[in-house]
Structure 1
Amino acid sequence: MSKSLQNKVALVTGGSRGLGAATARSLADAGADVAITYVASAEKAAEVVKELEDKGVQAAAFQADQADATRAPQLIDDVVARFGGLDIVVNNAAIGVESGKTIDDPSIDTAELDRMHATNYTGVIAIIRAAAKVLRDNGRIVNIGSGIGSRAGHPGFTDYAATKAGLIGYTKGAARDLARRGITVNLVQAGLMQTQMEPPSPEALKSMVSALAIQRISDPAETAPVITFLASPAASYITGAVIDSNGGYTA
């Protein structure tokens, strides 16, 4: 495999499992040193770090709750102190809560929804703001969205859709702001995949799969290479883009 990211330092939020872990592996395969974050799964994070180190790169895990936006600057400072710089940020960490409940459902937990907005949107913004100050020229920011951000498709995903739709606008704005430094900012709209995020109800899941052109749940390893491409020198003229990797959900 081409080591197109050798001597680069990448940060992948939520990198202890699912798409985050798959992305960390893919970036390491391309030669990047990789930092990952986790909230509570320290053991799983340590396993991923060991796996990355076995690929011949440097790796480290940092505990960080993305719902607390005030911690973002310290996280970025810690990564730079550990690795000596930062070239790539993959904003992957996200949560899904209250899936399938409509906004007029009397049982909906609005505190949980607020936590999701803080994790999926304002927490991502805080990391982008902090990282933008220290990213080396020609760096890369890749935000992970969802096809639901462009097409809700089903009742009960209003707040989740809002968090992901907001990232589209922020991605495009950041792409304009940082282009003068050669930094690209793109968003990958991921689809249904085998992760540990709270799943929708069986009925909603069946309906969502039926709405796909490729009618199956994906493996995170199918989307991780898309992210790695956007982080690579080969994607130097792509910025402000929204790339679908969701089995045709938005087709």
Structure 2
Amino acid sequence: MGSFKGKSVLVMGGSRGIGAAIVRRFAKEGAAVHFTYAGNTAAAEAIAKETGGKAAKVDSADRKAVTAYVASCGALDILVVNAGVVEFGDPTTLAPEAVERLFAINIHAPYFAAVEAAKTMRDNGRILIIGSINGDMMPFPGLTSYAVSKSAVQGLARGLSRDLGPRGITVNVVQPGPVDTDMNPADGPMKDMMQSGLSIKRHGHVDEVAAMVAFLAGPDAGFITGAMHTIDGGMGA
């Protein structure tokens, strides 16, 4: 361990689930980690105390708040955008305001955070966005707006990989399938439906996603960019 010693890392959405696992992984390997959270101050403070990271409450739907906080972190080596929301239901009846907020958090925030970070990011830096297998496929109804948002960040990674490639900065998307979190528990009501489509009949673990993020952020992944990296137990096979 220690491959990120001296590196400056920002994780947008790092107080629970996949984000907390990513914060823990980078901190364990020696990075100085900043992370944002949306609402649970107690959870964020607990992760900060455990890892030595610095937590900040930032509304990812607020573009000005996102860019101001990213700028305040100074020159980063690694940016991970994990913050995201889901709206489930018939698209003809979902509240337009809820969908607009989803797009602001899942599409606008990754774009503006990445662009702001790129202004001062050190050469050979890393930008990673946590997408979803639903950016590639949608096996059931009710998640149209979510699928739109996760497809959009694929275009973001491809485009920015061209724009930032001359500086050695890589831009990639990590696309989990079902992962055991409080938003999608392995023993939840959708367990059987989700696991029926998997080759490996279980939910993924947050540490498995964090491990993929750590690899793509590390020194062995300097020639990997503009790509989607699926970790879904075979859901999309």
TM range (shorter): over 0.9
CA contact (8 A) 2:106 2:149 kept: yes
Which structure 1 segments of 5+ residues have no match? 54-58
Q: Give the match for residue 39 of structure 2.
A: 40
Matches within 5 A, 1:92-131: 92-97=82-87, 99=88, 101-104=89-92, 106=93, 108-131=94-117
CA distance in 2, matches of 1:37, 1:193: 21
Matches within 5 A, 1:87-236: 87-97=77-87, 99=88, 101-104=89-92, 106=93, 108-197=94-183, 204-236=190-222
CA contact (8 A) 1:95 1:198 kept: no
Matches within 5 A, 1:24-35: 24-35=23-34
- After TM superposition, give the deviation of residue 7 of structure 1 in Å: 0.8
- After TM superposition, give the deviation of residue 72 of structure 1 in Å: 2.1
Aligned identity (percent) is 39
| Residue correspondences, number | 236
The one-letter code sitting in structure 1 at the alignment partner of 2:117 is: A
SS in 2 for 1:133: helix
CA deviation map 1:113-166 (0-9, x unaligned): 211111111111110111110111110001100001100111111100000000
Root-mean-square deviation (Å): 1.6
- After TM superposition, give the deviation of residue 217 of structure 1 in Å: 1.3
The one-letter code sitting in structure 1 at the alignment partner of 2:85 is: I
CA deviation map 1:193-212 (0-9, x unaligned): 1223377xx66543222111
Q: TM-score, normalised by structure 2?
A: 0.95
CA contact (8 A) 1:70 1:126 kept: no
Of 205, 228, 232, which residue of structure 2 is paired with 1:242? 228
**Change in 2 beyond 3 A, CA 1:213/1:124:** same
- After TM superposition, give the deviation of residue 214 of structure 1 in Å: 1.1
Q: TM-score, normalised by structure 1?
A: 0.90
- After TM superposition, give the deviation of residue 77 of structure 1 in Å: 2.1
CA distance in 2, matches of 1:146, 1:67: 19
CA distance in 2, matches of 1:249, 1:170: 23
CA deviation map 1:67-121 (0-9, x unaligned): 11122221112222xxxx3110001000112x2x2223x3x22211211111111
CA distance in 2, matches of 1:203, 1:110: 26
Q: Give the match for residue 17 of structure 1.
A: 16
The one-letter code sitting in structure 2 at the alignment partner of 1:12 is: V
Q: Give the match for residue 79 of structure 1.
A: 73
CA distance in 2, matches of 1:110, 1:249: 30
